[in-house]
Amino acid sequence: MIKSLTFRIGGEAGWGIATGADLLAKIGIKLGYNIFSTKDYASQIKGGHNYHTIRVSKEKVNADANQVDILLALNQETITRHKSIVAPTGIILHDARTIIEDKDSRYLPIPLAKIETSLKEKNIHNSVFVGAAIKVMGINFEVLAELIKTEFSHKPALQEVFLKSARAGYDCVDAIKDKTLTPIKNTSSPEFISGNDAITLGALKSKITFHAQYPMTPVSGILHNLAQEATKNKELVVIQPEDEIAVINMGLGASYAGARAMVATSGGGFSLMVESLGLAGMAEIPLVIIEGQRPGPATGLPTKTEQGDLKFVISAGTGEFPRVVIAPSTIEECYTETKRAFYLAEKYQLPVIVLIDKHLAESYTTINLKDEEERFKFDYNKRINIIIEVKEVQLNQDGLFKRYAQSNLQRTLPGTVNGIFTYAGDEHDEIGEITEDAGIRIAMVQRRMNKLKSILSELPPSQLIGEKDVELTVVSWGSNHGAIKEAINRLKEEGNKINFLSLKYLCPFHTAEVKSILSQSKKLLLIENNATGQLGELIAEKTGIIITDRLLRYDGSTFTVDNIYDELKKRI
């Protein structure tokens, strides 16, 4: 069973909650541990309640747990909201001025007012509490001091304040021996990245040259990352247009001109992109689209998480045209599947949608990218060739390029000699000339839809985790993966037989394979972060198998390991 230590730090927006959480996470990394960190924040810049959760473990972790071992309560509201999930043996660090109605041995007051007065500083909650937390875990202050010096090397004045206030927090408490975080040997040098960071790195590895995005949670981090990269990478153009309609049209225009293009948005922004998504399908223009789900409809809960857009992205647009929908299940897969998305978009010349959610986009974990490269087996980028030499035999009688010929999966770029054709949003013939001829219409629809068969043959098989002969099969997708996998491992250690079908490639769909796996299962349980069981409906449509037992969550929060464990325990 995974052994981990869980922190939660909470307070008002603007109090440096994220900075405090990052310092705690990076302390764990320096000591050799794996980290998984999530954040929950209100949809306003100041005020409201923000909190971050950090799990520190010797083993890999990819989900939150229910109980917290150390709560850093920077204000009264944090105590009120989170004291119930602090373990009986846990610790609650709190401002000595807060009101504690049920005070017990878990509460450890921090004399914040006294520290502020002695240092003649204000708004130092985060650094004081982080210093106190380090002392509670028995960690030498020099470990934190070294980290602060590195993190704030570009801001000497802030560095000095952080060091003094963290030291004051460290000195105001005694070490709690049973919470000691002992350094362990770790030969790897992991990176601490979010899902948004992983997508950025995957796009850069695929040699992206154009990105357009209007900032929208939960994927704004991708825009920030690539905009910063563009300041030093002269091959990369990053644009923030006025809205998402302009975003996708710029992306299509850049791709038409030969750029390797990506756009990113959330469900609300994708709604505006749908008409041009159809243009990408008809004109066969490659484009990678990142869609970060959050609860809808309309603005919904803009800073919370959900998996409510699956059926939408699979069906978006008028008529029928091929698109690929990939739903990474871990932050690691955000990196590898973004690379796959670029490959498929360029090779088959169609839109590829990478479907994530707020939980996956904004959570952080420790990753060794060299290991991910090895698992990915080969560099898809080397297999993409979008610029071709046009031969005489490829031209029709008018000297135009047969871009849409049945056997052709290549395109020319503007300016290519003997490579002229038309990109049309209307139905068209082999050179892109608009037509209403019924025979040509049938041939063009078949040409486009036949791509899905070839794409399906290139996709890895569905991931069945565990043995085949079991009492219960769990079925899910996306970011639920980490919580489900850890809960199942815990149950296996208790002698239970259970496996997990984690689906990642949702269009095209591994119909025969999924049907075979589920038909052999004794009991099925569907787990999704939505109200209607959208994956279950997709499975029923494709295979005829209806999963009646469903565990659904749609309150804006993700599943924890304990949530899943308790529900599975009832069913076995």
Ordered mean pLDDT values, 10 residues apiece, the chain (572 residues): 80 92 95 94 80 94 93 96 94 94 90 95 94 93 96 95 97 80 72 97 96 97 98 97 98 96 98 98 97 96 97 97 98 95 95 98 92 68 49 62 86 82 94 96 97 96 89 97 96 95 98 95 97 98 98 97 96 91
Q: Does residue 307 contact residue 528 with C-beta atoms inside 8 Å?
A: yes
Distance CA 35, CA 181 (A): 13
Q: Domain 463-571, CATH 3.40.50.920 — does that match?
A: yes
User: Coil, helix or strand for 413?
Assistant: coil
Q: Which two tokens stand for residue 250?
A: 């710029």
From start to end of 146-189, where are the E strands?
none
Residues in contact with 268: Cβ distance below 8 Å, sequence separation at least 6, in sequence order: 216, 296, 298, 299, 300
CA dist 501 and 568 (Å) reads 14
Q: Looking at residue 379, what is its pLDDT? A: 58
Evaluate whether 112 touches 96 at the Cβ level (below 8 Å): yes
Return the SS3 of 56: strand
Specify whether the CB–CB gap between 548 and 542 falls below 8 A.
no
Could you tell me the two tokens for 69?
Answer: 């071992």
Determine the Cα–Cα distance for residues 196 and 216; give it in Å rounded to an integer.
12
pTM of the model: 0.94
Count CB atoms within 10 A of the CB of residue 31.
16
Which pair of tokens denotes residue 295?
């609860």
Confidence at residue 48, expressed as pLDDT on a 0 to 100 scale: 82
Report strand pairing: 107-110 vs 463-465: unpaired
CB atoms within 10 A of CB 153: 9
Rounded CA separation 81/250 (Å): 45
CB 367 within 8 A of CB 335: yes
What is the structure's pLDDT at 398? 76
Closest to 521 (Cα-Cα) out of 548, 489, 495: 548
Which architecture characterizes domain 4-179 according to CATH? Answer: 3-Layer(aba) Sandwich (3.40)
> Quick one: pLDDT at residue 383?
55
Question: Which stretch of DSSP H or E encloses residue 560?
Answer: none
Distance in angstroms (rounded) separating the CA atoms of residues 555 and 39: 16
**What distance lies between CA 235 and its chain's CA centroid?**
26
Beta bridge partners of 476: 502
Partnered with residue 325 across adjacent β-strands are: 353, 507
What's the CA gap between 558 and 479, in Å, rounded?
Answer: 8
- Give CA separation, 238 vs 200, 222, 231, 234, 261, in Å: 12, 11, 9, 11, 10
Closest CA relative to residue 355, chosen from 433, 421, 290, 446: 290
Residue type, 388: I
Q: Report whether 208 contacts 342 (CB < 8 A).
A: yes
Beta strands in 219-323 (DSSP E): 237-239, 261-266, 287-293
Cα separations (Å) of 227 from 88, 152, 192, 223?
A: 46, 22, 20, 6
> What's the order of all strands across the beta sheet hosting 237-239?
237-239, 210-213, 261-266, 287-293, 351-357, 324-326, 505-507
CB–CB of 86/77 below 8 Å? Answer: no
Residues 149, 68, 527, 376: is their CA dihedral positive or negative?
Answer: positive
Name the strand (E) or helix (H) holding 391: none
What is the predicted pLDDT for the residue at 388? 44
pLDDT at 414: 86
Residue 178 φ/ψ, nearest 5 degrees:
-75, 0
> Around Cβ 434, how many Cβ atoms within 10 Å?
11
Which pairing describes strands 4-13 and 472-477: parallel, antiparallel, or unpaired?
unpaired
CA distance 463 to 445: 31
Beta strands in 58-105 (DSSP E): 68-73, 86-95
Q: What is the pLDDT of residue 393?
A: 44
* 3-state DSSP assignment of residue 397: coil
The domain ranges of the chain are 4-179, 192-381, 387-459, 463-571
Distance CA 272, CA 267 (A): 9
Same fold, 192-381 and 463-571: yes
Query: For residues 492 and 441, is the Cβ–Cβ distance under 8 A?
Result: no
What topology does CATH give the domain 192-381? Rossmann fold (3.40.50)
Kind plus residue range of the DSSP H or E element containing 450: none
